[in-house]
Amino acid sequence: MKSINPANDKLIKEYAEYTPAEVQNIIKLVDKDWHSWRKTTFAERSGLMKKAAEILIKERDECAGIMTAEMGKIIKESRMEIEKCALGCIYYAENAERILQDEIVETSYKKSFVGFDPLGTILVVMPWNFPFWQVFRFIAPGLMAGNAGVLKHASNVMGSALKIEEILQKAGFPENLFRSLLISSSQVKAVIENPIVKAISLTGSESAGSKVAETAGRQLKKLVLELGGSDPFIVLEDANLEKCAQMAVTARNLNCGQTCTAAKRFIIVESVRAQFQELQKKATEALMIGDPADETTQVAPMSRPDLMDELHAQVEKSIQMGAELITGGHKLDRPGNYYAPTILGNVKKGMPAYDEETFGPVAANIVVRNEEEAIAVANDTSYGLGASLWTRDLARGERLAREIESGMVFVNGITTSMPNMPFGGVKRSGYGRELADYGIKEFVNIKTICIQ
């Protein structure tokens, strides 16, 4: 397994894959530490989780540097990601006990309550695009709930995986409570089938989620899936177009557009299309493309060359089918996986830019007549992760937000994640939730206890 810098195509490090025997032995060690961990108090867990947050902040630049080198995230965004991980740790350190306290219920019994017990060892399958945050989105609630974990990270970010393991051990967590498995996808099935593994959390592609769900289903194991998205960004006629256009460009090009919740389909009411598109084009062409380690860079390379080729094929096919190329639409002539930030106009149903998830810096502009058609187009997708809607009328925004078929809707804001709000989708974007009260309760035994 190789980690290659996407900005210059140079090899960072090669990792030897763990053998099946090594993997099964690690799982046994994790299970052993879990049996002790499950008996710890919330206060003990909280102290260690806060220590992990301290280490993340102290070693922020080192962690950010690993991330930027491995998958090409611009350095400013990498630092922000590490800070977000620390915030997630602190949130659950301070709130897990409150969320998971026994819930008293009045029944005919002398005492009745609902308890929340840890499940055990959870398999965490995570992607490369947010190599620290995606993992800490499980670690903070999962470990605070009393669970243990084994991580199958993406093959190109194994340095990030091992650094996360190191941070937890430095914080004082049991040595084998959370371990990174240096394995390829071919070994995931055997890990799921191990009886020690009680549940799975996966963030990744629709195809990866389907395969893991099939294996987990046969084993009757709990599964949380956060998959792809083709998030709508709705521009109504009464939107603040200056701000809306600037945020549209940000929402599409953050992390070089390689985000499940990135705005991808820009649904614009016809009366403001020309003005919005002009502002959008100007802001897109002003983006600074460069080395992700440079502080001034706004758009960095895509993580892998095969993903860039897939994106370009989607763009070319959409143009062949009648989409208008407003700007971009080509690979940049320089070392690394650089793709020009792109806007496609006149996008219609049947084009890849309309029907498929475009995982890179490509915006698909779709023109509609009114709000009714805007909502219909927003819902005309197999995905349902996030959505963004822009209007000056807040009551209108709330009303329309309730009509959008997605797990999250942001009115006059771009889709994001925060520790105290649930994160997840519907339709082929997956099921289950991460973060907030809902996320920590995904991997507990919700137990009814009645005493007479």
Query: 226 an active-site residue?
Result: yes
Q: How far apart are CA 248 and CA 233, in angstroms?
A: 7
Q: How many CB atoms lie within 10 A of CB 331?
A: 15
Among 85, 256, 260, 405, the active-site one is: 260
Closest CA to 358 of 321, 324, 316, 320: 316
CB-count exposure of residue 49 (10 Å: 0-12, 13-18, 19+): buried
Q: How far apart are CA 449 and CA 435, in angstroms?
A: 26
Tokens 């084994």 found at: 150
Query: 260 an active-site residue?
Result: yes
Contact residues for 58 (Cβ-Cβ < 8 A; gap 6+)? none
Residue 229 and residue 429 in contact, taking contact as beta carbons nearer than 8 Å = yes
Q: How far apart are CA 51 and CA 172, in angstroms?
A: 8
Among 70, 81, 226, 442, the active-site one is: 226
Closest CA to 174 of 34, 56, 23, 41: 34
Cβ burial 391-426 (10 Å sphere, 16+ → b, else e): beeeeebeebbeebbbbbbbbbebbbbebeebbbbe
CB-count exposure of residue 104 (10 Å: 0-12, 13-18, 19+): exposed
Instruction: Please tell me what DSSP assigns to residue 433.
Output: -
Q: Mind telling me the catalytic residues? A: 226, 260
